[in-house]
Structure 1
Amino acid sequence: MSKQWYTPKELADLPGFPSTDRRTREKCIRENYLSRKKIVGKGNEYHIDSLPIETQAYIKAKQVEGSYDPIIVAAKSAIKKVEVKGVQCRQARIDLKSQGMALFMCLNETKQAKAKARERVINSFEQFIAPYIDVGNKAEGINAFVKGFNSDLILPDEDVRTHVKQAAERTLYRWSKAYSKQGIIGLSAQYKAVKQSKIDEQPCLGEFLLALVTSKPHMINQAKAVRGMAKIRADKYGWEIPSISSFKRWLIAYAEKHEVALAYTVNPTKYTDKYRPLFSTMYPQIDGPNQVWEFDSTPTDIELNVNGKLTRHSVVAVIDAYTHRVQLIVSPTSNSEAICLLLRKTLLEWGIPEEGAIMRTDNGSDYVSKRTTTIFNMLDLKISKAAAFSGWEKPFIERFFGTMSRVLMEKMPGYIGHSVNDRQQIEAMHNFAKRIGQGKKKVEAERLQLALTPVQLQQVLNDYLEFDYHHVEHDTLAKTPFELYAESGYQKRLITNPHVLDTLLNFIGTAKVTRGYIKAGGVKYTAPELMEVQWQRQQVRVFIDPNDIGRATLYPEDSWQEYVDAVNMDLVNKGISPVAFRERRKQTQKELATFRKTAKRLQEEFGINTLYADELAQKKAYRATLTHFEQTASHTNAAIHGLSNAVIQKQNQLSETELMAIERQREAMQMRRESQAVQESHIVRSDHEKAAMLTADSLNRELNETEQKWLRKYRLNNALQRNRLDKILKQAKQPHQQVK
């Protein structure tokens, strides 16, 4: 029989008791444990059943461990066999749980969070009931845990309670068993045996659905429509078409299981933003400034006031990959001119890049243009073009644009949103303001008044870089760009003469010397040296003088050792800036285009194309009644004379009645001709003449409803012609006024 009574000395330092005899004795007296006088010696001893549960569990475990009872020894042997068998199955369990973890990583975030919450409940449950199991009272431990958990005394954390609000004994048993066998995937609501659907039993039908949802991804949530399209091909392939709910379950399960693959196939942008694997370092080889520069352009997220109109410009920027310093300019568009201006600004501020430096650029036409690539090559800068639609290949400049938009652009007037959704919401706000009575013109005027000009935006962005962005600690660097550059000890390679860049960046291309001159930019340049044989038919680089388009510097394409200063005799010493020349040409073209539009509108308004017909009609009406006396003379034409005699002879043979009938016919024909002439004089050749005619008629008769409606509409749409019509009415009334 096992020992039942224990002294304070034996209980000291056991689980549930202090480490000293005196404090153990005080606790036994305070807790009023069942006691009796010691059989030998002084003091009391205490019964095991009255001691704390954890103390009882520890004592009983020690009794079993040191017992030589045949039953207990047999039990120990059985336990050891089970342990050996467990060790043998351990690797199998590890493999199964590893497979379960792989499946778990394919679940969506919601299901992962739910499984993790259940895992915390099971771990807490097992820890809680362990002492109860040790003392052989597992049922009481389970009941105590269920009661404590459902009362929010155990695991009150919100991340657990969101997914597991209550727990029952049977639920805990089921979760514990699944977790023990399969790991965390066993706690997922998805991980259960599901009867194979009729769609899965027909592989050809599954392939058809795969082709359909990848070709028309919007239909993945339209089970009824998908089923209808499958029925069209059912007879051809012998498919058994299940119910709409079966299609819905299959489509939902397929979308969850192949979420990444579907995104890669039908929505590359979503795949790049959410699923594409990330790598640690983009440029592991750099160890200082000016070794890698990233260039890119983006439209501004705000509208600017440009000559009284709201429009967007582009921000062309470059970032140093090591320090994350940024230079940028605001330009109407991202073109080679803007890139060259940015390059000039950056070279003057940061110096010439290191030998072998990489210039990572976008793949747009402005960055791959002949002018841009040639200038980079002449500066010995290695261009590395990012693949199209691959923003991750220039991560630093893309991240900067995102930061600039969130930190600065969203707070500025004229913000129109960084995404289509933002833009729609902002436009809806403006449209609502128009509807409630503020009026379109007033709203547009307010927006125009608040909008910045391009010059103001450039100054704001310069201040943002200098006083904000360069002094904000970056998460990946744990330092600011200013601190990184200061601590690098870098010595930049300065360009001593900035005017060299002015000429360099005005490179306009190559040309061939022909007959003593070259033609570049629409201008012919010549020089005495070009007349020499050695320059004939030679390909040269052409750089125009930034201050005088009449001058150009020519270098052989294969050498920088010699050059020729060429001039255009028509423009030399005129001091015409190339930029001003181009702007003046653009302005002239705009003025001519405006003039042409105005002229065309006026031509249509005044009926210029029908003017000739109006003129002829007026002349005909005016001159139809004019007569004059003609002087005649006899002729000697025998044929006419002979025919005249025959006619006269016939007239002499007609009776008086016949002659009168012929005369009446002649008079009738004359009247018809005169009436026709009058009618032709009143033919309406244009809307303007019709309006004038109706206005004049309104003085003599009442116009019908159709004529009145047409005349009112004409006066409303032709403001310039109203005065002309009013003048007709005024002139008609003047004689009556004089009579009075």
Structure 2
Amino acid sequence: MRAAAQDIAVACGVAEKTVLNHWSRRAEWPEGKRAGLGGRLTWAVEDLPASLVFRGQGVTVRDDVRLHLARAATQSSAAIATVAHKIQLSHDVDEAVQRRIQERGMSAAARLVGKAKQRLDARTEVLGAYRGFRATSGLPHHRALPLFAQEYQEGRIQVGDATRTQIAGVSTRTLQRWISEVQHEGLDRLGGRYRGRKGKAKIDIVAGMREVVVGLVVHTPHVRPAHIEQVLQARFAPDDVPSLRTIERWLARWKLEHKQVHTALANPDQWKNQYMVAMGDASTAATGLNALWELDSTPGDVMLLDGRHAVIGVVDVWSRRLKLLVSRTSKATAVAAVTRRALLDWGVPTQAKTDNGSDYRSHYYTRVLAAVGVDQEFCPPFQPWHKPHIERAFGSFSRDLVELLAGYLGHSVAERKGIEARRSFADRLMSRGETLEIKMTVEEFQAFCDRWVEDVYHHNRHEGIDTTPHDKALGWGGEVRRIADERALDLLLAEAPDGGGLRTVQKKGIKVDGGWYIAPELGLSVGQQVRVLYDETDIGAVYAYAATDEAFLCKAVCPERSGLGIDRAAIAAEGKALQRKRVQEEKARLKEVAKAAKVEDVAAEILAHRAATNPKIAPYPAPSTPHTTPALQAAGQAARVGMAAPESGLTEQQKQDLAQQQRVLAQRRQEPAAPVTDGDTAQGRFARWHRLNSLDKATLSENDAKWVATYPKTPEYKAQNAMAAALLRRQA
């Protein structure tokens, strides 16, 4: 379909000469054709501009001409309506296509890097300066365009230094091309069409080089291109190694194409926040109030006026209620303290999901949860997304912390005004190893945490529950398990001495931290192992529980530490009485068992059994010769004293020798022990002990006998004995 100047003038409401003398000379106006020699000048309607500015007002050209030609062709209202619908449909399609082009262009522009990004930024700034120039001057496009190009060429258009360096001058035609490219191809077209041959770089061509570079990136996500170049120079031929600039471009393109994977390698936390799929609902396990709690500690620390501290939190997943505790360190007792506050204020939960750290896995804390009937679930190490609710609560707290306590922050942060700087500072509390400096005491900061939780957090609407934590908890109509005896809870939360609190009850009681703790009931457990817990209100008292079933045994006191004037002797006497009674009862019971088993004649039963089973073969007597010594003869004579016996048969000389031996033995018993002087050696004393120990104890003096009995208990004897044993093993 073609239109003449008259048709265009009538459709747009202007004079025909305006179309012929002005519009047709504009840059965006298409070339016309004449129908033969001397014919009228006509234009294809599809090539006409969609709109243009005339006398400061926008004029729709193409659609108005189409509508006019339709009316001229037929007066039928149906035909006119059909054409109007087609025009509207075409207009809508054009808008949709244009919108998609712009969206695609902006998305592609965001991915540009290097020189393409520099060209895009420079050309975008120039076009922005042109739009401002045209709006200020009020000139139409065909007049403003060449004037702007001249002004820019002469340096009277203000742009950034980087843009001026990139684009020293620009022509009218270049500006018109840039505008057309943005409109029809998208914003990224301003970056240019300078495309390298993808997959044709040396890194991709040389065998094994790509694998080496990718391996370096995987091993060290932040590896520098210069380091990659050094590795390639060491492994490949010089002619095969690409330039440093080529490596930089290849690495930038690889990171862009594998953005998610590289982020996961370089910064797992950032990957989790930006890319990790979160289509499920972590709250489904919380079916009611106190069904599930989450506990954790902030990864970063808070540096207060009185030292470094950590913030420990617990959240009820169903209601999103929160409690925070400021502690000097995140240890088991501090975790138990925030748990105690929640137990008393909220009730007893069914399950607690905790971190996998040592403070949450300690025997003390696991014992506390087990004692109050709470199932504990550990999250896998270094996977905080398994407890997202407490993590999100910490995030809200850290962000509000910076906004509400700006006057208490360290000077390096208080001077920062940018939102991004404040957000970066707030992230310190959620980053392991970082420290957040706040000029407050621990009491002041704890009071701030409590007020923030009760007055701000509990009254903010949460998207996950579609209400506030305060209203959510109030709306619960079910049962809440509560601990009625607060003192009993305090006892369960009491800290145990070292070794998990395990102690063996001795005759003197239970020894804890150098003191002896006693109670009459301990007499029944002497020799048994018990578990001991401190009494947090009395340094002179502990509580003893059975180590096997955790049954309560007694409260034991240390009279020297209690300050209550307790009589240790009276307690000892009562303990002995209880012990004696228990032992007597146990002995009586055991005697009844023995009587029922009829074991009094068991020796006769054993002899009868062996006699019946042993073979009845008399052994042939072995040849023997009589053996005697003077000592044996003397001993035999002493044994027969007072008995009617025949003459000893000893000669006179033998009798004299025996008498002399008896006098020597008597004299030796009266002699003092051989002194052990400083000049004696360890080896000498060790040999002397063996010599004396081999003698009859009855022949030793009282001092020697005492020394022989005590010397084996000395370190010297133990050392000499160990060396002698080692020497024997080597000789063997």
The TM-score with structure 2 as length reference comes to: 0.48
The TM-score with structure 1 as length reference comes to: 0.48
